[in-house]
Amino acid sequence: MFRKILLYFKYRNFKFKSEGTNCFYKGFSSVFMSPEKITLGNNVYLGKGTEIDAAGGVTIGNGVIFGPEVCLYSRTHNFDSEDLAALPYDNKFVVAPIKVKDYVWIGRRVLILPGVTIGKAAIIGAGAVVSKDVPDYAVVVGNPAEVVRYRNVATVERLLLESSPFVYEKFGHNKILIEKQPKQKIK
């Protein structure tokens, strides 16, 4: 309990490099390291327990939704350079920026590693480990994350032409449940 109180006071007064309008995040349950290197677009929703280490810089575009416990790390340990001074790694960090483009949906417990760019309107499935760039409109899943399909580009681009394509602007937080139909077996 005492640790939670200390973390609250440590992170409650953070200031991002810039923050757009209608951004939602829970500072008490999330961790933002180097927040002065984090840029948030408009309509960004960071789920509970988000962890962002922005030592190398993190840019998050407009209309981006993070599920709970998403982690972005823009730095890693120096473990394999010519001047390596200790094992398993030394006291140097290698940093590289992370960029999440507009209208991306990132599922629960996704891990995004340094230097990755997530393309426009991409979807990252829950639990994915993203170590390479993700193309626009791609749906990626797994560890390591792999493209399993692409979204309907014509439909996404039509929606992007609207003045307010963002889900929470159009529908609020109301959800409609649709039962998934079982696939037909071929005989």
Which positions are annotated as active-site residues?
A: 77
- Cα separation, 79 vs 15, in Å, equals 31
Cα-flanking dihedrals φ and ψ of residue 98, to 5°? -110, 135
Rounded CA gap, 51 and 118, in Å? Answer: 17
Using CA atoms in the order 42, 94, 27, 132, what is the torsion angle rounded to 10 degrees?
50
How far lies 78's CA from each of 55, 86, 174, in Å? Answer: 14, 10, 46
Contact 119, 156 (CB under 8 A): no
List the one residue out of 28, 49, 25, 132 whose CA is nearest residue 38.
Answer: 25
Three-state SS for 98-132 is EEECCCCEECCCCEECCCCEECCCCEECCCCEECC
